Chains A and B, each alone.
Chain A
């Protein structure tokens, strides 16, 4: 599926389109279909997101969302070298899930 991601304008935080707004959690991401250009343009214009783009991802059996490219998995999680700074700090599985 295609999901949408970008950053929050004021805080820079990585965000994911969850259907009505933007979530910090990649697992909230919804399938954006193929018609997302207008949506992205509107969201950018309304300053609800900056630098937004669409990526490939898959929904796993347990409901989690896994971006296809490692770069977006690192964005979703945080740096793999600082477990204390991942989105859910000190989550023992987080880094394994990214890689």
Chain B
């Protein structure tokens, strides 16, 4: 894991004191809300439906046990005993008091955490593959590059007032587990024919009201030009991105309007110009960062056998573990989606337990997934049964990764002031319906994603089944979408037709799965069947 050096720590500590003072000045009346709002947003503090909401950055989703404990302590001490893990690999607290904000940030700073760049029109927290540094299929750990970009982008004056928010994602495997092509910049670390590592750039993806898949604009950027190329991408955006219309301000609109070729031409021109200026950080900086992400001391000579005599355990192993690069190890996924629970929510006790389990079984590391679950990246197969028993006892052992019950849901109208409809109750009802039907584990991979409004925080465009909450004359209504994916085969889901009420949408999802079961051919996932047969049979079942 990355450790702050004296500069990182000094910057974060200074920021805490600055914000503490800004909060004091606001409460004493020296700042108006208009003056204060942009300052609090720069520190992750929103005013939401019930109180202030604090979003804490988890760089590339990686946490150690001490950090997870600190998140739990904040939930206990300043909030109502729980937190919500988000699709951006961060955590949000829903019941924060302004008078506590300075203390919370100080507590975070003690464990090398902060809420900087979790809001506003800047480069946001950088996301990465949650199995980074562990996955068997990985070419290289993307996190040193994500960390380099974090340092470059933190407080970068040129990118403090971009036309709109900016999200970057870095992966190091062909399998995309991080929705890379749905980011403003997606980067895949690749190897060229000469065996050198480089960065493949995808620019102009995003969700929200105008979803777009990022086109690849450069196949290979040498690693010692990574930052320069990213800066060129941003500079063209900063210059020509639309500031006149918030809904057209994301880079995806610029890339779309200019066309990929013209945007790329301008980036390349800027890039050539910048190469001469030598803005690239010295390669030594990357070399300094890299050892922090070195493999932990994996034991050798371990057995790959797992005693599968307990069928519940065997099911969990089959669904919730992922192949590891080191023999005798796996990555284990802790589901935050118990049937009927709130997707992504964890209590303080559960967070403390996850911290303990990370220390005991996973070299003191855990990860937040964009699917709102938690990964223990490096678990010995021999320890899996003991681990699973402890998870089960704490309500964290649900076996449902990437299945119908593993639903992504944004906070929706229960917490979010921008929402049209509630997301969480819909997720709960769907999970319960399929559990009652005994189908929680029989439908195969099926990614269901729910957003409470067009902003798409719940990734509904990328769901095999997506649900979008809309406002129909003051009543909650839900549109059904089919055929999205956020993987290496990224596609955008299409709306089936008129929306449904809350119970109607649960029935509609059930009908869609019935069509799948009727139409499916050997080995097909829901998405494969949909892609083969198209929308028609689904429409017929839903509206016919």
Contacts and interface: CB of A to CB of B under 8 A. Distances in A.
Interface of A: 7, 9-14, 44-45, 47, 50-51, 68-71, 74-75, 78-82, 85
A70 B416 CA distance: 12
Contacts of B476: 70
B389 interface: no
B134 interface: no
A13 B98 CA distance: 10
A79 B50 contact: yes
B474 A70 contact: yes
Contact of B47 (A12, A70, A82, A85): A12
A51 B424 CA distance: 26
B414 A79 contact: yes
A38 B1 CA distance: 54
Nearest to A84: B80
Contacts of A47: 27, 29
Interface of B: 26-27, 29, 32-33, 47, 49-52, 80, 94-99, 342, 413-415, 417, 419, 422, 424-425, 428, 474-476
Nearest to A13: B51
Contacts of A74: 49, 413-414, 422
Given A10-B99, A50-B33, A71-B417, A81 B342 contact: yes
A44 B413 CA distance: 25
A80 B425 contact: yes
Nearest to B33: A50
Nearest to B420: A71
Contacts, number: 68
Contacts of A50: 33, 47
B425 A9 contact: no
Contact of A51 (B47, B415, B419, B474): B47
B50 A14 contact: yes
A81 to B, nearest CB: 5
A80 B422 contact: yes
A12 B27 contact: no
30 contacts: A7-B51, A9-B26, A9-B27, A10-B98, A11-B51, A11-B97, A11-B98, A12-B47, A12-B50, A12-B51, A12-B52, A12-B97, A13-B50, A14-B49, A47-B29, A51-B33, A51-B47, A70-B413, A70-B474, A71-B49, A71-B413, A71-B419, A74-B414, A78-B50, A79-B94, A80-B422, A81-B422, A81-B428, A82-B414, A85-B80
Contacts of B96: 12
A44 to B, nearest CB: 7
A82 B425 CA distance: 10
A71 B419 CA distance: 8
Contacts of A80: 414, 422, 425
A60 to B, nearest CB: 18
A68 to B, nearest CB: 7
A11 B50 contact: no
A71 B27 CA distance: 27
Contacts of A85: 80
Contacts of A71: 49, 413, 417, 419
A82 B419 CA distance: 18
Which one of A11, A14, A51 has the highest number of Cβ atoms from chain B below 10 Å of its Cβ?
A11
Given A74-B414, A79-B50, A79-B424, 6 more contacts: A9-B27, A10-B27, A14-B49, A71-B413, A74-B422, A81-B414
A69 B473 CA distance: 10
Contact of A69 (B27, B414, B474): B474
A10 B23 CA distance: 9
Contacts of A44: 33
B97 A10 contact: yes
Contacts of B33: 44, 50-51
A69 B476 CA distance: 11
A47 B32 CA distance: 9
Q: Which of A45, A47, A81 has the most CB of B within 10 A?
A: A81
A11 B413 CA distance: 21
